[in-house]
Structure 1
């Protein structure tokens, strides 16, 4: 028997479950189809568990370096199993919370693989969803007839063609969630956000880490000074970097229970983590039954997140914009709002905070100097070291800084980059300032509590007008 819905959401990750809640609030009868667990990658294999790991690593680091705060250093002992258990407790709590929200908003959950059908006896349009039981190939599919579909199936770790995951020696970021122990020596292929967060964590927990990056710089999409500063800081902690390298089947081999990498010399590692990006989860969704087009492997949408079938929307990692949980949720909410015949405030991707939870942290928003130059946009750059801010010095800061890029005529904020303690929290103030179209001067003249690390934003805003106090 067919089920009737206003909206069927394919994928119960961050974008999917938030979209379902928003749709319910707007009066839509809604169903979510999820083949694994509600919460998706972010909750179970990404944002939340990695930050739990990083917090455990931070505690270890503080104990090892307690003398910086007038306390005797202590070398802690730990078992990776207990760190994983701590992570699992956090994830389980959040997972139960999502189930509560689904029940509160009367959202139906279908466990299984969802596939979009073409025009059929259920509907003259493509979009009806068939849900297959993952444990019974012969079971009759649930049929979900709907007015709208939202595809929010997320992404998965990308493999290297010459180094497929074996989940033992060659690991994905998913495999890192259930580590049995800390590898003595590990190579991390990829100097982007995911690779560097794991590098920072594993280094704090005692692993000898080498990062292998094909580009000339780590974090190629971020400010060059951010990249250099973070690399210097991580190198100072003992993380090794090899940049500008090209790996292939001849330079990296898995043999004799280890991973051997041949560059100028041969290096042997206990494990290798491949962190070279993520691919969209769009296989076997029935896209060929629709008019949906792909762009470089990702689902193509318009500014309202509609596909070529205008009642089928897509949001999150599967459409290939910034692959961030907070971007996915905003895209999904905007898509649902548009379904309800409203005109949502369009997401400006230049106003999206980008955070890296290494030690030290990195946070940025807007455009970089290279991006502005490439588009021939005039700007003025103002940089202030974080050691001018008392609370930052207390928190522990050696090379941190704040940088603001400002339009010389309008004084609009074009971009901000921060390196240092707690900056992943500070960047949200800049996001609000940009959302409200605040000028650098308005950021600088607003009152900031003292002592607080956020005073760096006040000083940057004032410095843009030549009025900084502490520099």
Structure 2
């Protein structure tokens, strides 16, 4: 075999699995098709959104408004340039740290598209068309996810954006409609609200953040509305239209919401479409999520593992890292203590929410 461990993807789970395998004295290759190492977490997900949030809170003076009043601002005219400057510095630093970590642990990396040819072999194809085949004893699928983009939504990066594209705004929108009140949706909605952008949050279901205690969610919704956000729960979206002067969201009840920009943040899909999973007999569901053993993170093929967002909930960087470490240790026969029964969950909205363990509703039901 060419490598003891092949890692597909360089996000939190892939990174941790690669380093853990290397520390066990194994040969490791990390393959990522992105322009730079780090995966979604570094370039469009965890790190960018949290950096954006912190920058907004600092420049807007949001934390001090309880004392100075709602009109208080540290910087009066905040531009996209102000937000992007810190973002780029943070991303460059994260990539540099990752590269040094791989170098210190003799982890090799390659930029290429990966496709399974069998349970112990993959093909690598670079952007320039160079083709090679690599053998492996064990593999970890850590390809992450991408925004769910329905075909009937006219994404154009002018009026209508997905969550990965919001970082490419050329200026702050005068008004914003966010479709989808999951973690990503509420984070971006409240971040832009902290910049005093009028925000409308649309959610087809009658509730948001179902895994969080209802009392906490109710207070969170009250705070958002108290800040002037419009929240429409139980509002199914019939059609989204991009117009020259605005974006229009037509709801199933006949109402139409007009705003300068629409963020579509209703779910994400696993990046498994071109991996050739069918060749090795691994199945993914309609959202591209791979089923694994929850204790070992093995797929239906024993020497091929999967971890991180591509296996679904909880889709946290912290839990993804531990999943990658556990998968690597299991692959090489390293015993581990049983996993913890609970873990903390953070939502970096404004204000932030954190929970650990069961909600009151779950305790009452058990």
Report TM bin, short chain.
over 0.9
Partners of 2:65 and 2:151 lie apart in 1 by: 44
Change (3 A) 1:23 1:164: farther
Q: Secondary structure at the match of 1:225?
A: helix
Gaps of 5+ in 2: none
Partners of 1:51 and 1:192 lie apart in 2 by: 16
Aligned partner of 1:310 among 284, 290, 302: 302
Change (3 A) 1:343 1:257: farther
Partners of 1:26 and 1:164 lie apart in 2 by: 48
Q: For 1:117-167, what per-residue CA distance to the aligned partner results, in whole angstroms no more than 9, with x for missing partners?
A: 12xxxxxxx231211012x23x3x222211111111010111234214322
Q: Aligned residue for 1:130?
A: 123
Gaps of 5+ in 1: 119-125, 378-471
Change (3 A) 1:221 1:254: same
Q: Is the 8 A contact 1:154 1:280 kept in 2?
A: yes
Output the TM-score relative to the length of structure 1: 0.73
Change (3 A) 1:307 1:200: same
Match status 1:260 vs 2:248: yes
Change (3 A) 1:173 1:318: same
| Residue pairs, 1:367-382, within 5 angstroms | 367-374=358-365, 377=366
Match status 1:240 vs 2:230: yes
Give 1:180 deviation, angstroms: 1.2
Q: Aligned residue for 1:323?
A: 315
Q: Is the 8 A contact 1:330 1:347 kept in 2?
A: no
Change (3 A) 1:238 1:16: same
CA RMSD in angstroms comes to 2.1
Change (3 A) 1:347 1:163: farther
Partners of 1:321 and 1:67 lie apart in 2 by: 35
Change (3 A) 1:334 1:64: closer
Change (3 A) 1:268 1:154: same
Match status 1:364 vs 2:362: no
Q: Aligned residue for 1:27?
A: 25
| Residue pairs, 1:271-350, within 5 angstroms | 271-296=261-286, 297-302=288-293, 303-348=295-340, 350=341
| Residue pairs, 1:117-156, within 5 angstroms | 117-118=117-118, 126-134=119-127, 136-137=128-129, 139=130, 141-156=131-146
Q: Secondary structure at the match of 2:238?
A: coil
Give 1:168 deviation, angstroms: 2.2
Q: Show structure 1 runs of 4+ deviating over 6 A.
A: none
Q: Aligned residue for 1:413?
A: none
The structure with the larger Rg is: 1
Give 1:66 deviation, angstroms: 5.0
